[in-house]
A = this chain, B = another copy of it.
Amino acid sequence: MKISLKKKILDKNEECSLQNSAFFADNNTFCVNVISSPGSGKTTILSRTIGDLKDRLKIGVIEGDIRTDTDAKKIRSTGAAAVQIETKGACHLSAEQVTGALGAIGAADLDIVFVENVGNLVCPSAFDLGEQARTVVLSLPEGDDKPIKYPGTFAGADVLLINKMDLADVVDFDLDRVINHISTLKPDIQIFQVSAKTGEGMDAWYDWLMKRADANQPKED
């Protein structure tokens, strides 16, 4: 008799990530992991998205920050549920931290759960949280060289939101350079040019979100 010992030993993050993934599938909840540099506008994007879609989708947010609950407070001011995770110095959220927040946020009853990761363009991309989609935000003042310098993060994304388009006239940013480079890193990435401040371009992002959240619902016969 041969006994196979090939079973993969999962680390704690992989284990919790699979658990989260199963939870989202069971509850028809669409989970989006949002990653970017500090200050690219993640919280402003999510606040505006929640405000504009609140009559159509039930949305909640899991906030990751080194310190403070200021982002969760901003999200709660929109009326949405938000849970703050303080990482106390850690540079990314873990799948286990997300597992722990799902109950508090009432994720089973939501259409979309956004996980706003710690502001960091490097570390969060190496940790799967069990999400169905990953969105990277790049804001114009950060510069058009970021996909070249941080390729792993951009190659792992399903959506790129190019934010702060309202600053296009005052900062140097070559949109074509970014779009061309991204298309070599991740040919099927969805790119939306937006300003969360003015609302410019947000509708296309909303359409994508609604389509994906809808595809997540059980099909009627």
Contact = CB atoms under 8 A, between A and B. Distances in A.
Interface of A: 37-39, 65-68, 70, 89, 91, 118-123, 126, 139, 141-143, 145-146, 148-152, 164, 167, 170-171
Contact of A70 (B142, B145, B170): B145
Contacts of A164: 141
B118 A120 contact: no
Nearest to A91: B122
A107 to B, nearest CB: 24
Contact of A66 (B118, B119, B122, B143): B122
A141 B39 contact: yes
B149 A66 contact: yes
B37 A146 contact: no
B67 A149 contact: yes
Task: Point out which of A37, A67, A148, A152 has the most chain B C-beta atoms below 10 A from its C-beta.
Answer: A37
A151 to B, nearest CB: 6
Identify the 7 closest CB pairs spanning chains A and B, nearest first.
Answer: A39-B142, A141-B141, A91-B122, A37-B38, A39-B143, A37-B37, A38-B121
A67 B122 CA distance: 11
Contacts of A70: 145, 148-149
